[in-house]
Amino acid sequence: MQREDIRNGLIVSCQPVPAGPMDNAEFVTGFAKAAIDAGARALRIESVAYVRAVRSAVTVPIIGIVKRDLSDSPVRITPYVSDAEALADAGADVVAFDATDRVRPAGIEELVRAVKAKGKLTMADCSSLEDATQALAAGVDFVGTTLSGYVGGPEPVDPDIDLVAAMRRLTPYVIAEGRIRSPEQAAAAVKAGAYAVVVGSAITRTEHVTAWFHEALAKAYTRQDGRSAETVLAVDIGGTKTMAALVKGTVIADEILVPTAREAGPDAWLEAVAERTAQWRGRYARIGFAVTGLVQDGRWSALNPATLGIPHGYPLVDRATRLFGKPVFAMNDAQAAAWGEYKFGAGSGENLVFLTISTGIGGGIVINGRPLPGLAGHFGLIRGPSQGRSPLEDETSGRWITVEALKAGHEAEAAKVFENARQGAPWARAIVSQSALRAATLCRDIQLMLDPNQIVIGGGVGLAAGYIDEMREHLKDVAPRLAPRLVAAKLGGRAGIIGVADLAGEGG
Ligand SMILES: CC(=O)N[C@H](C=O)[C@@H](O)[C@H](O)[C@H](O)COP(=O)(O)O
């Protein structure tokens, strides 16, 4: 064979887990044929016997190796000249061998000479750029990244694409090999300059691939039911009250509620939390803050100072880290609630928008499994219907409902207005319907902007009996493809602390 025969090709390494149920010639040959049927250009086969078996079944190039565990050398891949010769005789077109700079039974030049004498090509399995430089000087035909990450230290997870790129500066004949587990990683190797790409475990080690999925599932399921989640101190600082809780997964082990001393300022709010939760010290490893207002890069600012007078850019994460001596994560409360609903509440695992309609209107967006931070989701602040004179929340939310009731001659909180509406009072019905129309219009616009799988509605107004139905009523003429799917929030007022606890537990 010529080197060009494997140019730009996928090489499938058919090396089943040693002594596993697939470690026999029949399976190895089966893997080899299946790989070729699906477009593999060449194969990498371990042991003289398997090379012989596969050679008799296929015509594509074979890279042959022999693996040995020696007592006097860490070299495992084709350590002896006799192995290299036997592979060539069994039908390997390329013989690969360990080319690391370690104690070894046979020198690289010796191996190269023996393989060349058999009229075959050589591949140096390298761990570093230095290995490749040495091997090329010894006259090898290909250098591979095969042994990067396997000569000491913990085994990495990702392939060594940087080494592919570095080797490419020495020679065009670079074979990317080792831990390439996805088509994207294979493409990255090509981009880095690989002449050909070897994929092994991800295709032919059923046990490994199964274990990857098994572990991911086990992790996801335990997080979901909160069994192995760590305990987090979650703090929700709102305009009137501050809630602190010890949260593990979705379970709230302990909880306290203190009024927010509105005039005292953020240092005092934090100190109050520290004081009131002093008895919980030692029970949590991390802290999550879900707060009203805007959080950007750990700094906290008021968006509506009427809700809470937070000074601009208050270093919340910094101060809290110093005060509590634990890692701190902070996010806007509605964004945190969006995450809580996504992960543990009404979420379906797909993109979601959360809208909380209460005194004001807040929200959060979860796209591709991540909550969007910063200003994202502050829907209450977009321009309202009356030519944008005031924000939408001032013309829709609980505050607005109270004001409208007063205009209609009734001194009533939002809850009372809802009660009157249910009893059929026309003035109350009109107010609720108007509010629901505006909320519905907002949802229709959100659908067109973000196309979420669902819009989760929460908050005292949003979850008031009949409100979501009223919103749906206003949307009934919207074409089905454009209509938002509205669902009721499930976690209630604790969505924020459950969400932020989970995010803080993940390290933010
Ligand atoms: C380090 C070592 O012994 N590598 C061996 C070399 O042949 C094989 O065990 C690997 O499966 C092969 O390199 C392909 O890599 P991956 O299976 O990660 O796609």
Q: Output the pLDDT for position 222.
A: 63
Same domain, 445 and 360: yes
Q: What is the CATH number of the domain that holds 177?
A: 3.20.20.70
SS (H, E, C) 30-78: HHHHHHHHCCCCEEEEECHHHHHHHHCCCCCCEEEECECCCCCCCCCEC
Q: Output the pLDDT for position 306.
A: 82
CA of 147 to the centre of ligand 1 (A): 8
From the list 139, 190, 144, 196, the residue with the least C-alpha distance to 167 is 144
Same domain, 168 and 59: yes
Same domain, 179 and 36: yes
Q: What is the pTM of this model?
A: 0.56
Domain count for the chain: 3
Give the mutation target among 66, 83, 175, 201 for probing the ligand 1 site: most ligand atoms within 8 A of CB.
201
CA of 114 to the centre of ligand 1 (A): 24
Buried b (16+ CB within 10 A) or exposed e, 369-406: eebbbeebbbbbbeebeeeeeebbbbbbbbbbbbebbe
Please give the C-alpha separations between residue 300 and each of 266, 318, 501, in angstroms, as whole numbers.
10, 11, 18
Query: Measured between alpha carbons, how far is 144 from 352 in angstroms, rounded to an integer?
Result: 45
Query: Measured between alpha carbons, how far is 219 from 4 in angstroms, rounded to an integer?
Result: 44
Same domain, 245 and 146: no
Asked whether residue 338 is assigned to any structural domain, the reply reads: no
Same domain, 328 and 352: no
Q: What are phi and psi of 218, to 5 degrees?
A: -60, -45
Asked whether residue 499 is assigned to any structural domain, the reply reads: no
With a CB cutoff of 8 Å and minimum separation 6, the contacts of 375 are 294, 296
Asked whether residue 32 is assigned to any structural domain, the reply reads: yes
Q: Output the pLDDT for position 305.
A: 85
Protein residue with least CA distance to atom 4, ligand 1:
146
CA of 177 to the centre of ligand 1 (A): 7
Protein residue with least CA distance to atom 15, ligand 1:
178
**Distance from the first to the final alpha carbon of the chain:** 53
Q: Which helix (H) or strand (E) holds 276?
A: helix 266-276
Give the mutation target among 146, 160, 204 for probing the ligand 1 site: most ligand atoms within 8 A of CB.
146
CA of 99 to the centre of ligand 1 (A): 14
Displacement of CA 373 from its chain's centroid (Å): 15
Same domain, 381 and 470: yes
CA of 69 to the centre of ligand 1 (A): 15
Asked whether residue 116 is assigned to any structural domain, the reply reads: yes
What own/partner pairs with CB < 8 Å and gap ≥ 24 does 378-382 have? 378/294, 378/303, 378/332, 378/334, 379/355, 379/442, 379/446, 381/303, 381/304, 382/442
Same domain, 173 and 257: no
Mean per-residue pLDDT for 172-198? 98
Tell me the pLDDT tens digit for each residue of 33-57.
999 999 999 999 999 999 999 999 9
Asked whether residue 340 is assigned to any structural domain, the reply reads: no
Ligand 1 binding site (Cβ under 6 Å of any ligand atom): 13, 15, 65, 77, 146-147, 150, 177-180, 198-202
Atom of ligand 1 nearest to the CA of 201: 17
Atom of ligand 1 nearest to the CA of 13: 14
For residue 508, what pLDDT band results from cuts at 50, 70 and 90?
low
Q: Output the pLDDT for position 224.
A: 64
Domain span holding position 461: 346-489
Buried b (16+ CB within 10 A) or exposed e, 482-502: ebbebbebebebbbbbbbbbb
Mean pLDDT for the chain overall: 94
Same domain, 420 and 465: yes
Tell me the pLDDT tens digit for each residue of 241-292.
899 999 988 888 899 999 999 999 999 999 999 999 999 999 999 999 999 9
Q: Between β-strands 174-177 and 196-199, what pairing exists: parallel, antiparallel or unpaired?
A: parallel
**Hey, what are 84's tokens?**
């290299």
Q: What is the CATH number of the domain that holds 485?
A: 3.30.420.40
CA of 4 to the centre of ligand 1 (A): 23
Give the mutation target among 13, 43, 151 for probing the ligand 1 site: most ligand atoms within 8 A of CB.
13
Cβ-based burial of 263 (10 A; exposed 0-12, middle 13-18, buried ≥19): exposed
Atom of ligand 1 nearest to the CA of 149: 1
Same domain, 44 and 154: yes
Same domain, 327 and 200: no
Tell me the pLDDT tens digit for each residue of 339-353.
999 999 999 889 999
Which three-class secondary structure state does DSSP give residue 183? helix
Would you list the DSSP string of 418-469?
A: HHHHHTT-HHHHHHHHHHHHHHHHHHHHHHHHH--SEEEEESTTTTSTTHHH
Same domain, 328 and 456: no
CA of 217 to the centre of ligand 1 (A): 25
Would you list the DSSP string of 293-356?
A: SEEETTEEE-SSTTT--PPTTB-HHHHHHHHH-S-EEEEEHHHHHHHHHHHHSS--SS-EEEEE
CA of 222 to the centre of ligand 1 (A): 31
Atom of ligand 1 nearest to the CA of 202: 19
Q: What is the ipTM of this complex?
A: 0.99
Same domain, 253 and 306: yes
Asked whether residue 503 is assigned to any structural domain, the reply reads: no
